Structure 1
Amino acid sequence: MPPASTWQPLEEVRAYAVSGSTGIDLYRSIGERGPAAGVGQAVAVTTFKLTWTRDYRPQPDGACVLAVAKPRLIITYTLPRAPKNLTSAVAESWQRFIDGVEKHERVHGTQIIDMVRGIETFSRGLKEENDPKCTKVRQTLQARLKQFSDERVAQSRAFDQVELTEGGAVHRLILALANGP
């Protein structure tokens, strides 16, 4: 197999506007305008779009090899954006809050990147014997893709559980913003 091609994810940050002049007002606005997540609204979300360039190659002996598996990954972080006319105390409180929220979301981004790298490693060179139409190798890949996805979702949920429950990093950020100036 030729060496795997290098790739980098594309990352973009999208903002949604919130309003208010105090920390609690800003947080209430997040609750009203935040992106949908699960059963309610979230402060921020990380989403991704993943597509692949794959080259399945039937072999002379009847096997099939997945010779190329190159991802194209776009990660989108959706974060709140506060008004520009905040007092300095509220602006400082907001900056601490948004820096912490972005740090949290970027962990989700890293989890996604790790999943894609795992898929790439598993995929490239995947071979099935007696597979001249490359159907078995596709089935093997599809079965494992669900496992990769399920593992990432579980990892993401476990991380959120720690961060969002009482005493967690994001929980503390929310309390500091809401109880601040």
Structure 2
Amino acid sequence: MRVPVLACLATIGALCCFSPAASAGTKLLVKTRTYEISGTTGAALVEAMDRNGPKHGFMTRAIADTAYTVNWDLAMNRTDGVCHLRQADGVLDLTYTYPRLAQPANARLERRWQRFFAGVRGHEETHGRIARSMMKATERSIRGLKRADNWFCTGTRQEARRRINAVYVEYEAKQKAFDAREHRNGGHVEHLVDALIKP
């Protein structure tokens, strides 16, 4: 599961000569949070995750969660009536939330838990990889942006935001398609849960 947020800031640089090519860079911030669960059986652990996991919608909870915010700081430069995207700095702030056993499990349950948790972590890290790919695609989409524009570079900023939003929509569709495959009946998540609760 993932929770995305997108923001875009724009500034206009001083009116002097700069290269028209945009200098783009992205920064990745990663945090991991946990919530405690306890139980002596796989079924009890699943019940604890259903009770204590991160909220997913109004009434349900998820096993784990990948939340991210995306911020772009765009610096514009205007020369001879043409606005150039001089610099684009993006920040992807990822937060993973995972369950954590509050107390040691017996050896058999511990083995099943470790397999289950590895699958859950792999699922959430795939969401993170898709988000990182989105940042790279956004960089490519806005690199070299320039157009004749007013003193405030209004149209250029609007075009940059349009491109950023278009990439965001494309990659949100990829996130949803991945979740749909993983969470379908008989899918990967169901197999993980079944393997954990088997007697």
TM norm. shorter chain > 0.5: yes
Matching of residue 21 in structure 1 with residue 40 in structure 2:
yes
CA contact (8 A) 2:50 2:61 kept: yes
Letter in 2 for 1:142: R
Matching of residue 57 in structure 1 with residue 57 in structure 2:
no
Moved more, 148-157 or 105-114: 148-157
Give the structure with the larger helix fraction. Answer: 1
Distance of 2:198 and 2:145 partners within structure 1: 54
Offset at residue 50 of structure 1 (A): 2.1
Identical residues among aligned pairs (%):
33
Matching of residue 41 in structure 1 with residue 61 in structure 2:
yes
Distance of 2:133 and 2:73 partners within structure 1: 18
Aligned length: 179
Letter in 2 for 1:44: A
Structure-to-structure mapping, 1:49-128, within 5 angstroms: 49-59=69-79, 61-128=80-147
Offset at residue 54 of structure 1 (A): 2.1
TM-score for both structures, normalised by structure 2: 0.83
Give the structure with the larger strand fraction. Answer: 2
Letter in 2 for 1:76: T
TM-score for both structures, normalised by structure 1: 0.91
Give me the CA root mean square deviation: 1.8
Equivalence for 2:10: none
CA contact (8 A) 1:67 1:124 kept: no
Distance of 1:88 and 1:4 partners within structure 2: 53
Q: Cα–Cα, structure 1 residues 38 and 150, in superposed 2: closer, same or farther, change >3 Å?
A: farther
Q: Structure 1 unaligned segments of length 5 or more: list them.
A: none
